[in-house]
Chain A
């Protein structure tokens, strides 16, 4: 496992809380959403920073009461083609105003790196260390975009008519 920061934020590995374990005093733990629903009070009372592992079939409104308590939302892609994860990233930023770290976990592929960044993700848990270079290449592949996104980039439709005054066809 290698962590790749997309946004440049400092990121670090989190320890997943084992099924029957309780967090140690002040320790940072990554907790599956279902577990946090059951034992949330106890975990938040004892642990330091808390991250949540979010399955892609989660309805985003189920996260609404957690976003001000967690430091990390790690979205677990069961397969790289499960595009619900991208909408969850968007929902966390757009609807829930989440300011913490959003991470992609699971078999995402290098060619998705830029899509993840633009959908609000900060980091990717890269399963195969040898692929980090390919992720980084993909991240730098495009520099202009047709859509507004969560990196703060303007859509070309706006940029074309922006202050630089660049417009009209070649």
Chain B
């Protein structure tokens, strides 16, 4: 993975000093709260319902065991002993003190981490495929480009006060696990006819109150032109994006208003002017950064491991875990392992300091000291020998991390909701807990199969409900929490917007309704057909009748 050089160190250290100074000026009254607000947000510091919240960047979801141990240490020393992994592959601390945040940032800087631009109207943490560099289905590892984008977008002189937040996602795989079509700019690695690597460039996707799927504005952009091209896109947006209404300020509204063709035309016209202006990094720098992402030297191993078969026969949960929580690696004899942060009855995405330390130790011992965070709020050990699975799972299971539900109905995305968030209209966490308790039977949820449930506690859709096979949206109706049910969304390469099924439910009714939807699917599915395929084949009507007629 990427290692800072003295310049990177110098920049994050200077940033910590800057933020320390900003906090001091705020405390002395030299900065107004209105002035301080965007500055603290650009350092990931929010003011929530009960306390400040600090969001720390995990660039493109990749970190080392050492970095994870530092996150655990911060959770213990400055927070209440836990953290929350987010859909932007970041981690949030819910209880830091304002006065201590500069110290936290220094502790992060010491292990090459930061909270730069994890919030605010600027370019946010670039997200990527959690299996990047460790999956059998990719053209190339997207992370070198994500790192190039991270550097270019940090403290950008022109694009740090955009109309609204701005999110990039990049994938190098055929299966889109990074929801690139739901981003302000989505990048998909492509190979052209001559075997050269480049990008399909998409723009104008986003969730929030106006869900839009991004449109392709260029089929193939040579890799050497990445930064100049996105600079052209950002300039068009910075100049013309709406600033009169924050709900209409995202690039999706601009692209929709002017049309994707016109947005592409203006981008191309601007790019023609700047593409040779030394905005792009030189080939030597691309090579320098790519070298950090050289695949680890894994010795090819047998794909069959007797210890795995033995434990699988004895232990159904382990067998399920191997089936659901491991995926094909580039190197024979290895898998990538998804550590579920969705224990049944638990809080989606939360991990305790002890759990973080354990994951760090397992990464050091079994996975080249590498860890990933997925946008689905799980942790990944990317390079695991199949023969080590029994030992890893046994340790995970003892620590409450052995849940075998990756990709299944209880592997839900859920935002923090009204328990923490100042924007929320409804609670998310108790609903997620109720759902995982209702679907606590491992045999049953495995029979239901791959199913993505995503829940948000307000219209801002941090919980990606628009992209859920089943989405749940909490709203406030005259002081009551009401939950709407949406069906048919997808965050993958076949991206689609989930549609509201009908009237909402209370917190108990929504769980019953979800169960009825699942029952319809089980009754209607054809051989091997996953939920989304059945829904697309039979439509909403059957589900609607089952959910509302019986009610």
Docked CA distance A137–B279 (Å): 27
**Hey, which chain B residues are within 8 Å of A159, CB to CB?**
7
B492 to chain A, nearest CB (A): 32
Within 8 A of B (CB), among A72-104: 80-84, 86-87, 89-90, 94-95
* A146 at interface, CB cutoff 8 A: yes
Closest to B39 in A: A111
- Please, what's the 1-or-0 string for B20-45, where 1 marks a CB less than 8 Å from any CB in chain A? 01100100001100010011000000
Known A-B contacts A80-B35, A158-B285, A160-B5; A144 and B10 likewise in contact (beta carbons under 8 Å)? yes
Docked CA distance A10–B161 (Å): 28
Partner of B155, one of A86, A94, A145, A150: A145
B525 to chain A, nearest CB (A): 50
* B278 at interface, CB cutoff 8 A: yes
Known A-B contacts A87-B238, A90-B158; A158 and B282 likewise in contact (beta carbons under 8 Å)? yes
Within 8 A of A (CB), among B242-287: 243, 273-274, 277-279, 281-282, 284-285
The answer to whether B157 and A142 touch across the interface, beta carbons within 8 angstroms, is no
The answer to whether B281 and A115 touch across the interface, beta carbons within 8 angstroms, is no
A85 to chain B, nearest CB (A): 8
Docked CA distance A114–B18 (Å): 12
Closest to B151 in A: A146
Docked CA distance A81–B25 (Å): 19
A95 to chain B, nearest CB (A): 7
The answer to whether B238 and A84 touch across the interface, beta carbons within 8 angstroms, is yes
* A149 at interface, CB cutoff 8 A: yes
The answer to whether B35 and A157 touch across the interface, beta carbons within 8 angstroms, is no
The answer to whether B121 and A81 touch across the interface, beta carbons within 8 angstroms, is yes
Docked CA distance A159–B391 (Å): 47
Within 8 A of A (CB), among B1-24: 3-7, 9-11, 14, 17-18, 21-22
The answer to whether B14 and A86 touch across the interface, beta carbons within 8 angstroms, is no
Known A-B contacts A134-B30, A141-B18, A170-B4; A86 and B158 likewise in contact (beta carbons under 8 Å)? yes
* A147 at interface, CB cutoff 8 A: yes
The answer to whether A81 and B38 touch across the interface, beta carbons within 8 angstroms, is yes
The answer to whether B5 and A142 touch across the interface, beta carbons within 8 angstroms, is no
* A156 at interface, CB cutoff 8 A: yes
Docked CA distance A59–B425 (Å): 39
**Hey, which chain B residues are within 8 Å of A155, CB to CB?**
278-279, 281
Known A-B contacts A83-B162, A111-B22; A170 and B273 likewise in contact (beta carbons under 8 Å)? no
Partner of B11, one of A80, A84, A142, A149: A142
**Hey, which chain A residues are within 8 Å of B460, CB to CB?**
none
Chain A interface category by residue count: 35 or more
A127 to chain B, nearest CB (A): 12
The answer to whether B238 and A146 touch across the interface, beta carbons within 8 angstroms, is no
The answer to whether A118 and B5 touch across the interface, beta carbons within 8 angstroms, is no
Interface-lining segment among A1-9, A12-20, A47-55, A161-169: A161-169
Closest to A133 in B: B30
Within 8 A of A (CB), among B33-83: 35, 38-39
* A105 at interface, CB cutoff 8 A: no
**Hey, which chain A residues are within 8 Å of B158, CB to CB?**
83, 86-87, 89-90, 115, 119
* A148 at interface, CB cutoff 8 A: yes
**Hey, which chain A residues are within 8 Å of B4, CB to CB?**
169-170
**Hey, which chain A residues are within 8 Å of B35, CB to CB?**
80, 109
Within 8 A of A (CB), among B159-173: 159-163
The answer to whether B285 and A160 touch across the interface, beta carbons within 8 angstroms, is yes
**Hey, which chain B residues are within 8 Å of A170, CB to CB?**
3-6, 9
A115 to chain B, nearest CB (A): 5
* B499 at interface, CB cutoff 8 A: no
Partner of B163, one of A83, A147, A149: A83
**Hey, which chain A residues are within 8 Å of B285, CB to CB?**
157-158, 160-161
Known A-B contacts A137-B21, A157-B151; A148 and B277 likewise in contact (beta carbons under 8 Å)? yes
Docked CA distance A147–B285 (Å): 13
The answer to whether A86 and B157 touch across the interface, beta carbons within 8 angstroms, is yes
The answer to whether B151 and A156 touch across the interface, beta carbons within 8 angstroms, is yes
The answer to whether A144 and B3 touch across the interface, beta carbons within 8 angstroms, is no
**Hey, which chain A residues are within 8 Å of B548, CB to CB?**
none
Docked CA distance A79–B3 (Å): 38
Docked CA distance A147–B310 (Å): 55
A50 to chain B, nearest CB (A): 25
* B288 at interface, CB cutoff 8 A: yes
Known A-B contacts A83-B159, A109-B31, A168-B5; A95 and B281 likewise in contact (beta carbons under 8 Å)? no
**Hey, which chain B residues are within 8 Å of A143, CB to CB?**
10, 14
* B239 at interface, CB cutoff 8 A: yes
Residue among A94, A109, A159 with max Cβ neighbours from chain B (10 Å): A109
Known A-B contacts A83-B160, A111-B39, A158-B282; A146 and B5 likewise in contact (beta carbons under 8 Å)? no
Known A-B contacts A118-B157, A119-B157, A141-B14; A156 and B292 likewise in contact (beta carbons under 8 Å)? no
Docked CA distance A158–B282 (Å): 7
Docked CA distance A150–B159 (Å): 14
Within 8 A of A (CB), among B127-174: 148, 151-152, 154-163
Given A87-B158, A160-B285, A166-B6, 20 extra CB contacts under 8 A: A59-B239, A80-B35, A82-B161, A111-B22, A112-B161, A118-B157, A137-B21, A138-B18, A141-B17, A142-B11, A142-B14, A147-B152, A150-B157, A157-B151, A159-B7, A160-B7, A160-B288, A167-B5, A169-B3, A169-B5
A-B interface, 6 closest residue pairs, ranked by CB to CB distance from nearest: A83-B161, A118-B157, A157-B281, A169-B3, A157-B285, A161-B284
Interface residues of B (CB under 8 A from A): 3-7, 9-11, 14, 17-18, 21-22, 25, 30-31, 35, 38-39, 121, 148, 151-152, 154-163, 235, 238-239, 243, 273-274, 277-279, 281-282, 284-285, 288, 292
Instruction: Provide 18 A-B residue pairs closer than 8 Å at the C-beta atoms, listed in order of the A residue.
Output: A60-B239, A83-B159, A83-B238, A84-B243, A86-B157, A86-B161, A115-B158, A131-B30, A142-B11, A142-B155, A148-B278, A149-B157, A156-B7, A157-B148, A157-B151, A161-B288, A166-B6, A167-B288
